[in-house]
Amino acid sequence: MRLARPARTLKLVRLLAVALFALGGTGPAPLRADEMPSVEELVARNQTASGLERRPSSEIEEWRVTIADLEGTVRIVHHERDTVTTTMLGPFTYARGVAGGQAWHQNENGETVLEKPQPSQTERVLARSVERVHEPLDAYVVRSEFASGHVTRTFYDPVSYLVVRYERLASGHTAVTTYDDFRTDGRGRTRAWHYTGGDERNASSYDYRLVRDEAAPAAETAALTVPPDRRTLVEFPAGRTSVRLPARIVRGRIYVRLDIGGRGLDFLFDSGASQMTISPSIVRELGLTVYGRQAQTVAGNFETGRVIVPQIGIGPLVMHDAVMRTAPFDEREASDTRVVGLLGFDFIDGAAIRIDYEEGTVDAIARGAFVPDPDATAVEVRLNGQVPVGTATLGDAPANDVILDTGGEGAFIVFQRFARVHAAQVGKPTGRPGLAAGVGGTFRTAPVTLAHLALGGWDLSDVSGLLVLGATAFGHDDDDALLGAGVLSLFTVTFDYADSRVYLKPNARFPAAGPSTARAGS
């Protein structure tokens, strides 16, 4: 199951604030009241007025921020094309940057992840238009419609051509950012020193105020490199580099027993979860503090926050002061198993994890000690959203953004954006619509059968799965599909996030080669 990615929201806010809205200068003369500029003309006037080209080659910015109920700072250092943004929000620290063209981020548990460009259709513009509005303010508005179904509205002041408001309509919610306190620096660059926003959910508010802006000294810019992990999150016992986890595999679902506060708690091992999560009811029972409550949409709306768990035991493995997200995941599975959370990215990134679905075992191998099985096939994955996303073939159509999701029930789920483009390959529903479950609720689906499905050089024929009927089942539309336990359980699967790879070795459950079954490919 996939979780929303709050870090991406912060990155979007940062990009909008600096790249789009660093505006100013004296600007061209205003248009006549009866003139309607084109999109290109508005952009040109904006660029002429911005002074963005006057940005120094090296710079430090410091922002005072409030996000939900947490206060903190954002510190940005850039030198030419390299940059690092460090956020300290309450007791949490995380960062992202670009060094020598390599994008990276470091999460709240101190794990550094190298990012790779994602061939996504999400931000592909289908249409743009301009209109003049007088409510909620007097402005020229550029409306952009994207292939994902998202819509944005950018409000340009009709006199200064500064961007004073930005709206993003997605997942049934409208997020609004308002810019004010425009100041001109000594280089002739004008921009907003303050912006605030959120959507109709009160727990999604944010407030940013610039408090420092000056040239960066050489000592600061010299440190713009990809940082190592800030700490070792998953600790192995002395002298051991491989351990077997206390796990059970039931109908493809993997349940791992965690020890928290002296209690044995079952978590779902979920490679599709971008963070480790825990049920709010367990948080209350353990007496943990919840920080930074925010609204999220993942198959439904719910409230989430961060908690710091002092110690987690997983067999002989230990995690200290581990950051988890709260999410309403507390249910009975496999008749006698109460699942109270998701064991997601943060843990999986801390070791290589080998899942033998046939034997029903899960092993963790320490980083640096893992040696791939020479008979296994390596699948390159991207971890930009802290979930493994790779390429596959669905009904003879190439799919570039496919989540490998151990928490996903069934063989696959195809999302709307892929189905719209490849309707012939996906085919029509083969049965009545129904409901599938996500962390925050349910979403509508219909059964479909793919004539062909290929992953890592291994082919399957006539595979039954689900087609999502809504455009934003998980609160976003970033991916083409996910492959769940119904496909992954045909292999021994090893997650090696350190090298951005997942290894597949067919097991005895993999169908024998033949018509309408499966065949090994090159």
pLDDT confidence band for 112 (50 / 70 / 90)? very high
CA-to-CA separations, 43 to 125, 131, 177, 455, in angstroms, rounded: 15, 14, 19, 43
152 and 22 co-located in one domain = yes
Last residue of a domain, one of 172, 191, 221: 221
User: What is the per-residue pLDDT across 273-318, written as a single tens digit (0 to 9) for each?
Assistant: 999 999 999 999 999 999 986 655 554 565 779 999 999 999 999 9
Element housing 197 (H / E): strand 190-198
Please give the residue range of the domain that contains residue 477: 377-520
> Do the domain assignments include residue 237?
no
Q: Radius of gyration over alpha carbons of the chain, in Å? A: 24
315 and 384 co-located in one domain = no
> Do the domain assignments include residue 93?
yes
Query: What is the structure's pLDDT at 150?
Result: 81
Which of these, 365, 405, 386, lies nearest to 496 by C-alpha position?
365
Q: In this prediction, what percent of the chain has a pLDDT beyond 70? A: 84
Burial of 135 (0-12, 13-18, 19+ CB in 10 A): exposed
> Do the domain assignments include residue 229?
no
102 and 204 co-located in one domain = yes
Query: What is the structure's pLDDT at 22?
Result: 37
> Do the domain assignments include residue 235?
no
Last residue of a domain, one of 366, 387, 403: 366
CATH number of residue 386's parent domain: 2.40.70.10
184 and 313 co-located in one domain = no
Structure tokens at 236: 């192995």
504 and 392 co-located in one domain = yes
> Do the domain assignments include residue 227?
no
User: What is the per-residue pLDDT across 140-164, written as a single tens digit (0 to 9) for each?
Assistant: 999 999 876 789 999 999 999 999 9
- Sequence-distant (≥ 6) Cβ neighbours of residue 439 within 8 angstroms: 1, 3, 277, 298, 299, 300, 302, 327, 328, 329, 342
> Do the domain assignments include residue 228?
no
Query: What is the structure's pLDDT at 218?
Result: 80
pLDDT above 80: residue 405: yes
Mean pLDDT of 357-379: 96
User: What is the per-residue pLDDT across 172-226, written as a single tens digit (0 to 9) for each?
Assistant: 778 999 999 999 888 888 889 999 998 876 657 899 999 999 888 887 888 799 9
Residue 456 forms beta bridges with which residues? none
314 and 390 co-located in one domain = no
Structure tokens at 120: 């996504």
Contact 471, 151 (CB under 8 A): no
> Do the domain assignments include residue 230?
no
- Sequence-distant (≥ 6) Cβ neighbours of residue 48 within 8 angstroms: 25, 27, 28
> Do the domain assignments include residue 185?
yes
Structure tokens at 162: 């500064």
Higher per-residue confidence, 442 vs 385: 385
- The rounded distance, in Å, linking the Cα atoms of 216 and 55 is 12
Average of per-residue pLDDT values in the chain: 86
3-state secondary structure 82-135: EEEEEEEECCEEEEEEEECCEEEEECCCCCEEECCCCCCCCCCEEEEEEEEECC
pLDDT above 90: residue 334: no
Q: Of the ranges 10-24, 255-269, 386-400, 424-438, which one carries the lowest mean pLDDT score?
A: 10-24
Domain count, the chain: 3
Query: What is the structure's pLDDT at 438?
Result: 65
131 and 279 co-located in one domain = no
CA angle 260, 345, 322 (to 5 degrees): 35
118 and 160 co-located in one domain = yes
Structure tokens at 321: 């002061």
Last residue of a domain, one of 315, 341, 366: 366
357 and 411 co-located in one domain = no
Mean pLDDT of 485-500: 97
**What type of residue is 319?**
M
**What type of residue is 281?**
S
154 and 100 co-located in one domain = yes
169 and 61 co-located in one domain = yes
Which of these, 486, 484, 493, 495, lies nearest to 518 by C-alpha position?
486
Structure tokens at 408: 């996903």
CATH number of residue 59's parent domain: 2.50.20
Structure tokens at 188: 């002739």
334 and 203 co-located in one domain = no
